[in-house]
């Protein structure tokens, strides 16, 4: 789970769902910690992640 490894804000933890190839998938357990650095997105070998930022205040992402 490279997303869990590269995330500096401990967003991910091991999940219980399995992928189509029967691997245990990580889950974003602490989304409130996410800083939208997109390290997880760029390091995912399966292109399974997309980070979508919400706009807040004066279009701050």
Q: Which residues are near other proteins by CB under 8 A? A: 1-2, 5-6, 19-21, 23, 41-50
Do residues 2 and 24 touch, judged by C-beta distance below 8 A? no
Nearer to other proteins, 55 or 58 (CB): 55
> Which residue number, 57 or 61, has a Cβ lying nearer to other proteins?
61
Give the shortest CB-39-to-other proteins separation in angstroms.
9
**Smallest distance from the beta carbon of 58 to other proteins, in angstroms?**
25
CA-CA distances (angstroms) from residue 32 to 18, 21, 29, 44, 53? Answer: 24, 29, 9, 20, 12
């Amino acid at each position: 789970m490279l997303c869990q490894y590269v995330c500096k804000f401990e967003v991910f933890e091991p999940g219980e769902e399995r992928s189509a190839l029967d691997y245990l998938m990580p889950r974003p357990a602490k989304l409130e910690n996410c800083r939208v650095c997109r390290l997880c997105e760029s390091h995912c070998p399966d292109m399974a992640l997309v980070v979508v930022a919400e706009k807040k205040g004066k279009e701050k992402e």
